[in-house]
A and B are shown apart, each in its own frame.
Chain A
């Protein structure tokens, strides 16, 4: 009897806004009355039903995202009360953010490090590591000198294959729990992605 007041709070800190029954964290609907719930503070991984890991299958991320949007998108609530419409919009917003973060390997790595209390820093424009700096400058120069779309493509191809390589070592570092190396690789991926992005814009101009 003593536990009566305590137990629900341990298992479910949130009460349903509609019926007052407990709702587990990251659960989009009240298990009792089926009302849509606020998105709450769940992290992007648990929102889409994943453990905190770098290695995610993009097809699976997409599948879970579509499944949840099918239930939570504002279009499903077009004829419901303003309160439910507002909650569904908040849910769909959180889902989009989770989807965008997890789908992109770089954003996923940055987010994973942040969850472990490590800020990657760097914006792809400035590079502090001397070895990285040399590599970055060399590629920037090659891009600046490219005069035709095929020359731009060559730079992109090189940057892409390096980015692929970085993504696979990133995976190794994350699974080994080597967050320091993961941070270095993430920085490297930041500038490679930025370079590929700039090359994309440049390709449209030379084409």
Chain B
């Protein structure tokens, strides 16, 4: 520890204070995930060793366990059946919901059971929550590697248009990954936060967020630190993935004759989609190109021009434009009253998307922050605000109306969409039969009039209603939505006081048992995590020593004896090497060796610092307290 004493208090290379308060911002995306951290209002993306901040949201289930990111992506070619991507599109979805997507997803689904959809990956059956948790674990590890300490708290972003089931699924995934979610923040709000739009003159802004699998449009009013969402809308299953599919289908049509009636394999589908995506990205800068498609072991080149691409993706872009108009109307605004528009999401790089947004709003959109990173940066700012305190205020709204099923499969709305949250509303219902002892309460979310066209969130039975004539019972159902947009429902029969309270979970969520089992499994990961954390701590300690030495040498290399510099350099090199490896004991030993070698040098520096401290003072000043303020702290020596 000798070398550490060379630093003035407060000048140690890594800050200690506020360790408990640390929280990161995570953008859990369809295509990529990003983690960022903010300190003193300056957010920063945490990158890997190669400088990339994007962790592909891809998980490969290998015989050695799950692999996430670029390494998982690389396995698409060799073992496509083990690779899962775009799982965000399945969050909070039931088997019935995804039938509509069947055939468009590059992996097999297990549609056998009701409730939450399951993915068939090799011989495993996985929920989207487990796959997302795997991505979050990887992102968490990246942050820990970077920060050199444990990360247990996060702000996680979700599309503004995510319904209750999808929000809950996201929160459950974070829990499985060992992260406490401080807040689910809507992606468009996070983007507005990252742009610091509130610091401009007050105004109304639209955030157009087209990601890999989701589309969101939010209109916000901004005023001195207040982000007030006026209206939000979107499509939880519309994004750049659809562009890829359109291109892939276009190419497959070219080779239809040789394919015959036999369906293409998941592996072929994944590769074709990969090529389609590459084509889409290439045409951002170019007007045309030729792209390979491998089917039945034969590769052919297919031409794609910008004009053809525009034609293929136009239907989706028009859909987003329609949604933008609807949301402006919901906010009681004319498009011309909107002061600016911000682009978010990788798919807004497509020139036609930019053009469409500019035409619609009549002004060039803001896009100076990387659209792939802007959401994570905003999430990091909010994480800092929640843990360190701040004046920023995010006022969100409920994205989709909440209601109950009434007679004849109709929906009675209890809370309208775009109501500011948190919110609580109650509605009274009655029995329709004499002596009816129980009432089924079916909670749905959506804008349509019939239950069949809305999302089912939960069903529960209020039992024990005393016998009464039809219409005499008074059942009061209360909906409560918290600041994360999550719903709790309670019901009470007023005349008898029979009460029930449910966290909305079932329809497509995980049961308590499933969550418990998954948490138990994640403890096994936990042991590996612990080993890794200890390693990281040693690495950080090693780097700290190196940095301290470097600083000391820079100013005081003149104090070195003959040959001492070489000996220190040798020990320094050994430590640097050890840090690169993953052997904790070796790092510890190297730290000790370096400290021993450099001790005489450190002591000489200390002596000199003491003399410098005395310089200019009369020795009389220290009389009566001989050395009392100068003696090294015995605690520090050990």
Contacts and interface: CB of A to CB of B under 8 A. Distances in A.
Interface stretch (A41-49, A71-79, A105-113, A165-173): A71-79
Interface string A196-207: 000010011001
B553 interface: no
Contacts of A76: 389
A93 B386 contact: no
B393 A75 contact: yes
Contacts of A93: 422-424, 480
B393 A69 contact: yes
A89 B422 contact: yes
A174 interface: no
Contacts of B424: 93, 97
Interface residues of A, number: 20
A39 to B, nearest CB: 10
B336 interface: no
A204 B322 CA distance: 9
Nearest to A71: B393
Nearest to B395: A69
B391 A70 contact: yes
B483 interface: yes
Contacts of A100: 419-420
Given A100-B419, A203-B329, A207-B325, A75 B391 contact: no
B329 A75 contact: no
A200 B329 contact: yes
Interface residues of B, number: 28
- The interface residues of chain B, by DSSP majority, are classed as mixed
A164 B362 CA distance: 30
Contact of B393 (A73, A78, A200): A73
Interface string A52-90: 000000000000001001100111101100000000010
Interface in B219-266: 223, 225-226
A73 B423 contact: no
B395 A74 contact: no
B394 A79 contact: no
A75 B396 CA distance: 12
A75 B421 contact: no
B414 to A, nearest CB: 14
Contact of B483 (A66, A89, A204, A207): A89
A204 B325 contact: yes
B485 to A, nearest CB: 12
Contacts of A204: 325-326, 329
A79 B386 contact: yes
Contacts of B422: 74, 89, 92-93, 96
Interface string B477-499: 00010110000000000000000
A96 B420 contact: yes
Nearest to B155: A78
A100 B387 CA distance: 29
List the 5 closest pairs (A to B, CB-CB), nearest first.
A78-B386, A96-B420, A74-B483, A93-B422, A93-B424
6 contacts: A70-B225, A75-B386, A79-B387, A97-B423, A200-B332, A204-B326
Given A73-B395, A96-B422, 4 more contacts: A74-B422, A78-B387, A93-B422, A100-B420
